[in-house]
Chain A
Amino acid sequence: MNTKAASILLWIFEVVAVIAVIVIALTIAKQFSDETALRKINAAEDIAMMVNTFVSLPGDARVEYPRDLSKFAVALTSQYVVVFEKDAKIDGEKRNFILPSGHSAVDIVKQKSKVCLKKVDKIISVEDCVKP
């Protein structure tokens, strides 16, 4: 093997390796600092707590979620709430809750800026606040 060629190859490898490490580090940092992801986690957490609060209310109620959810879709089931951007299975943020028997949670809203949570009798649902 030619020594010079081997040396140049190693030099190229060193440069590529350093660039790769920098790019990976920056990508990870950018991913973690993404505000959308944080807002998604917050929304899922908040809505799960709102559902628990609704269960503690003896009567009916309707509450508007105070933040803009136009970038997300919110899906509610009787076991969990999932907030996602495009696909619930891939980028969904899921939070579980436990409902008393007889109670249920349903519905989905997609890309609505104002989202409301509603409890009528024993059914908790999520809906567009400005629904006609």
Chain B
Amino acid sequence: MNAFGAWSPPTTQAALLRGDWLVFLWTGLAVGAIVYGLILFALLRWRKRDDVLPRQFRRNNRLEIFYTIVPLVLVAVLFGVTYAVERPVESVSQHPDLVVRVVAYRWGWQFTYPAQRITLDSNGSSTGPQMVLPVDRTTRIELTSVDVTHGFWIPAFLFKRDAIPGLLNRFDLSPDRTGTFYGTCSQFCGLGHALMHFSLRVVPDAAFERWAGSAARAS
């Protein structure tokens, strides 16, 4: 398992997703600091010291308009950042280098490489199958389920997509560094939900070809 592995993003999509996270994290910290600062200041500065009734003001139109407009502008900017990140992350290329079909079931995963004639399956183990992908290539994942809704989640890639019966979800993964990454089911699916893991290993082209050859013979 990668602990916070996502902070060195292993796919081009993850790099964008991490950028989105950082924008929101810093904005959140700034907003938090300002608001906590205001609250702390008010509590300290205006502690009850005597029985004199303070000035009973109840409105300040300019101030209220100000703190309506500023957050509105802020969320508009945040939406802009969101949209700019989401479009490329979700775009699927016309000619992926590799296609892998992922089928989720209660309780395991089946990975099929149609072009390479490879089939991998959990076969009852909670560790699950290992999907091997070539680095610096775009892999198309085609995801579905045969029973209930599951979730295909690779935390290090900062990405998940639901595996829904009757629906085929398509997305691209473009890993740009090698490594082994943990995956797990994210959508509650019953008794075996917590034991439905898998992994992903990203290797150079040559290693991928060698693996594909032996995996096809084993399938």
Q: Do A and B bind each other?
A: no
